[in-house]
Structure 1
Amino acid sequence: MPRGAFRIAYDGRPFHGFQRQPSVPTVEGALFDALRDLGVLGDEADKPPGYAAAGRTDAGVFGLGQTVAFDAPEWLTPRAYNGQLPATVRAWAHADAPTDFHATHDAASRAYEYHLYAPGADLELARAAVDRLRGTHDFRDLSAVSSGNTTRRLRTATVERDGEFLVLGVRGDGFLHELVRRLVSLVRSVATGVVPVERVDSVLTPGTLPDHEIPPAAPPGGLVFVDAAYPGLAFEPDRRGAESVREVFGERATRATRRGRLCRRIAGGVGED
């Protein structure tokens, strides 16, 4: 059976993270349940043959370029996959992969974005912080990992303003747990004047800061897993799958805008004593 790779988009809020867990809904669990309903995965099978995912995301994190690969029948298109997936999880592109392809180990890089609500933040200070984070560093104090090799390389790191939001984008060879969210917390502290930009250098020198000064993780809801890069693997967008992503997430965006408007109306309608 040929090996297929699928690009997966998802809203992580209804799930307890990406990785399958017993007794709670996860993105991976939804993917496996759909394959079982489609007859691709037997009732007793733990997971599809050759299965691997590009990475794990925490509860509440969104996905755009999450990638899963496994031995799949040729008829399993993104459109067919979506027929059994919940609306919050959509397959939108597919690639024929070599039989030894591994979605985790063969990823040359991964990219994330964080959409940070920071209307008063100084963009130039944020950029100064990001400039110091780019490159190869020991990120022990910017992760939930306390042992082992914590040196990683950020190939790119950028920050732009979009209305009242700062959008931070990073691409690296690999990411430690909570690295991106702690990086965001550090950049926010610099951009709002809470700490000087030199604090970045201290954070990148593990052991020099007391525990209470180590940046905490920013909330997961602003994070998007944007891309996993696989040189030589050509993903073909599925027209119906991509349309489904635009429809489902466009409608969810409209509902969120409406809820925000009503919440502001109620908040502004309460008279002060």
Structure 2
Amino acid sequence: MAEDSADRATSVRAYRIAYDGRPFHGFQRQPDVETVEGVLLDALSDLGVVESGTPRGYAAAGRTDAGVSAVAQTVAFAAPDWLDPAAFSSELPAEVRVWTSADVPADFHATHDATEREYTYHLYAPDGSISRARTALDELSGEHDFHNLTPDEEGTVRTLSTAVRRDGDFLIVSLRAGGFARQLVRRLVSVVAAVARGETELARIERVLGADSLSGPEGVAPAPAYPLVLTDVVYPDVSFETDDSLARTRAIFEETHVRERTEARMTETLAGAFDAGTGDRSS
């Protein structure tokens, strides 16, 4: 029986999960829509690890919003010895891959034992000023009450470290903290983007951080979800070991990358066809 498989586990195991979050309605399992956690738990059911629900000791590093992707999402639970990353991935869709694992202590908790999380946002800003973006991030770094940048009413005080670099038309914004309130990363990016593009002044940040409450036109809307990736979750005492699953995971996402680069070239042709001076294209 499925419960017997879980009972034979010799230790709790942590698994790193990479996923393309765009097809999913976020990470957390929901009853009527497909989520990343939903397909993970369905896979464990199909593999006979559980009959339904979650395995003993199950926890995840965090919840990503709908459309957000991950490299280092982490789940941990009491697992049978044979459940290596390849076996876990065998019942998962191509968009979700288990690529490494680690044996951890019996009291390990994937949420509470994480000391730091890093998100990376790929901000399309060909005309954005990296110096203004860096100055904005410097203002947002350190310990602040980010209550105007999240719908959460508790847990809004966070200590944030930041970085930004340019990669072609993109500003790559990295945000690191012990944890993040809901939508905080995407609303932080909205503020940084507005400053980098010259749409708002740096003084805006002081108001966002200091005002009792900002709403309506003064409020900060979250940036789009799909350019955001959970790139790291830190467990200081855990050593993840990779196997052939790493190469297979890389190959699957490289195939997606090539396909989408090809599609981007096609749409670039469509957009460029209507540049000024194109002339009559009826022939």
TM-score range relative to shorter protein: over 0.9
How does 1:98-177 map onto structure 2 within 5 Å?
98-145=105-152, 147-154=153-160, 156-177=161-182
State the 1:268 CA deviation.
2.2
1:267–1:5 distance in 2 versus 1, CA, 3 Å: same
State the 1:143 CA deviation.
1.2
State the 1:144 CA deviation.
2.0
State the 1:201 CA deviation.
1.3
User: In the alignment, what sits opposite 1:260?
Assistant: 264
Contact 1:202 1:208 in 2 (8 A): no
Residue 258 of structure 1 aligns with an amino acid whose one-letter code is T
Is 1:63 aligned with 2:78?
A: no
The answer to which of 76-85 and 116-125 deviates more is 76-85
Whole-Å separation in 2 of the counterparts to 1:208 and 1:47: 39
User: In the alignment, what sits opposite 2:97?
Assistant: 90
- SS of aligned partner of 1:221: coil
Contact 2:150 2:184 in 1 (8 A): yes
Whole-Å separation in 1 of the counterparts to 2:214 and 2:82: 55
Whole-Å separation in 2 of the counterparts to 1:142 and 1:250: 34
Whole-Å separation in 2 of the counterparts to 1:236 and 1:206: 46
Is 1:80 aligned with 2:100?
A: no
Whole-Å separation in 2 of the counterparts to 1:60 and 1:23: 17
- SS of aligned partner of 1:81: helix
Contact 2:128 2:197 in 1 (8 A): yes
State the 1:32 CA deviation.
0.8
Where in structure 2 are there 5+ consecutive unaligned residues? 1-8
User: In the alignment, what sits opposite 2:57?
Assistant: 50
TM-score normalized by the length of structure 2:
0.91
How does 1:183-198 map onto structure 2 within 5 Å?
183-198=188-203
Alpha-carbon displacement from aligned partner over 1:6-63 (angstroms, at most 9, x marks no partner): 0000000111110111121110011111111111111xx2111100000001111011
Q: Percent identity?
A: 50
The answer to which of 197-206 and 59-68 deviates more is 197-206
Where in structure 1 are there 5+ consecutive unaligned residues? none
State the 1:207 CA deviation.
2.0
User: In the alignment, what sits opposite 2:252?
Assistant: 248
Is 1:220 aligned with 2:261?
A: no
1:14–1:202 distance in 2 versus 1, CA, 3 Å: same
- SS of aligned partner of 1:106: coil
- SS of aligned partner of 2:56: coil
2:41 aligns with one of 19, 32, 56: 32
- SS of aligned partner of 1:255: helix
TM-score normalized by the length of structure 1:
0.95
Whole-Å separation in 1 of the counterparts to 2:112 and 2:220: 29
Residue 144 of structure 2 aligns with an amino acid whose one-letter code is H
1:82–1:24 distance in 2 versus 1, CA, 3 Å: same
Give the root-mean-square deviation of aligned CA atoms. Answer: 1.4
